[in-house]
Every structure is written in C-alpha cells, then in structure tokens.
Chains A and B, each alone.
Chain A
Amino acid sequence: MATTQLPDALLVKNYIAGDENALVILINRHQSKIYGFIYSKIDDRDLADDVFQDTFLKVIKTLKSNSYNEEGKFLPWVMRISHNLIMDYYRKNQKMPMLRETEEFSIFSVLHETSPNVEGRIITDLIEKDLQKIIKELPDDQREVLTMRIYQDYSYNEIAELTGVSINTALGRMRYAIMNLRKLIEKNQIILTN
C-alpha cells in the first residue's frame, strides 16, 4: 500500500483536511511504541488502554481544532501527551494517609528522621579515618588496586591496563587486599560499624 509510506506530517495534514483514513495509518504505525511506553510506566493493561485512549482523544481534539503546530514531530508530540497523562494519573492516585494522634497512637512512632545526626556523622568520620589508616598498612600493589577499584571506581579491566598487569593479577591483588584488611581489623580490634 503506497499510503503507508507517507510521512507523518503529510498524514496529519490529510487528517486535518478530513481524511479519516490518515488517522488509521498513524495509529497503526505508532500504536506499539506509544502503548509500550505507557505500559512500561503503568504496568497495568487496562489502565494503559485508558491512557492510550485519552492520549488519542486529545490528539484528535487538537488536530480537529487546528491547534497542532509541531510539524514533522508527530510521535514525540503524542509521546509527550501520554507522558503528561501518566503524570496526571500518578498525581490523582497519590495516596496521602491521614493520621491522627490519639492516646494509643503517637505520630512519632511512624515518623523517622533519616538524615544522620551529629553523633552519626562523627562516628562515620571516625570509621573513615580508621579505614584510611589500615589501607595505608597494605602493600603498595594491593593498596593501588583497592583504591582504584573502591575510591576511583575503575573496572578491573581498566586497573589491569593502567597498572600493566593481567586482569587475574589485579583480581588476585584485590582479594589479598581484602583478606589483609580483615586481618588488620581483627589484629587492631577496630569496630567498623555505625
């Protein structure tokens, strides 16, 4: 069929001019992408169908009222409409449970402060310092691999390349570094928990 090869912009133009078949082609062409996108965000077939339907009702209204001005970008425009409708759905369904304080129930039993307090921060700092000290005790080659992997986030491949050893050697050094750290922690009786 020659019509299926028509670009989106032309189909949109034809649809605005009254060609209903142009919409059939546009839907057939993009339904999988649009529906897949909606379903990936909502994870419910019926709801995804509802959002898909609302998306196209909006598309139809906009096109028929001549308010469409995104020439050549039909699919991103439809995706944006469906994205906004998904956001609306989540906003509407955002559950805010109402809790009242009574004699049996204290609101503070469910409210927790998640940010660390002063004591927590001091302990974390101490742990960091202890850890730095024992890392310094490690042999040079092991310390190098450990710091590159843990602190600088290099992959073992990159470490092997940068240090000029094989990947197995780098992995072995890391293994010995951890074993030696454990020994040092035991030997010095360091407590590394918050």
Chain B
Amino acid sequence: MAKLYSKQTLASTKMLPKKETIHFILNYSRALNVVKVGTMNFEIIAN
C-alpha cells in the first residue's frame, strides 16, 4: 500500500477560543441595546 505523506489538518484537535473572547462577547451582548426608530436602528451600549 502506498503511504500517505499529506500534511495533517490544522483543526484536527478540538479547538476553542480564549475565555476572554467569550467574556467580551457576552458582556457586549448584555450591554447592547438596539432601538428601532422608524426605519432606522440605533445601537446603545450601556457602560
């Protein structure tokens, strides 16, 4: 049988984003409020 010398795939192991990234996304989600006025959307970020 011929041997396979092809490169291993990069994402073969289970990969996860950094915890800080997830925290940032969740905090952004909690802070964001989208208000629709007529046909326009206003994004309000609460501090």
Q: How big is the B interface, by class?
A: 20 to 34
Q: How far is the CA of A53 from the CA of B21 in the complex (A)?
A: 6
Question: Which chain B residue shows the least CB distance to A57?
Answer: B28
Instruction: Please judge, given known A-B contacts A24-B26, A53-B25, whether A65 and B14 are in contact too, CB under 8 Å.
Output: no
Interface residues in A46-68 (C-beta closer than 8 Å to B): 48-49, 52-53, 56-57, 60-61, 64-66
Kindly count the residue-residue contacts between A and B in the assembled complex, taking CB atoms under 8 Å apart.
59
> Are the C-beta atoms of A61 and B43 separated by less than 8 Å?
yes
Q: How far is the CA of A65 from the CA of B44 in the complex (A)?
A: 11
Choice from A20, A27, A36, A61 contacting B22 with Cβ under 8 Å: A27
Which of chain B's residues have a CB closer than 8 A to the CB of A24?
A: 26
> Are the C-beta atoms of B25 and A60 separated by less than 8 Å?
yes
Q: How far is the CA of A57 from the CA of B22 in the complex (A)?
A: 11
> Are the C-beta atoms of A64 and B14 separated by less than 8 Å?
no
> Are the C-beta atoms of A52 and B17 separated by less than 8 Å?
yes
> Are the C-beta atoms of B24 and A53 separated by less than 8 Å?
yes
A32 at the interface (CB under 8 A from B): yes
B47 at the interface (CB under 8 A from A): no
Which of chain B's residues have a CB closer than 8 A to the CB of A36?
A: 11, 14-15
Report the stretch among A37-45, A89-97, A110-118 that lies at the interface: A37-45
A31 at the interface (CB under 8 A from B): yes
Instruction: Please judge, given known A-B contacts A35-B16, A53-B21, A61-B43, whether A20 and B29 are in contact too, CB under 8 Å.
Output: yes
Residues of chain A at the chain B interface (Cβ within 8 Å): 20, 23-24, 27, 31-32, 35-37, 39-40, 43, 48-49, 52-53, 56-57, 60-61, 64-66
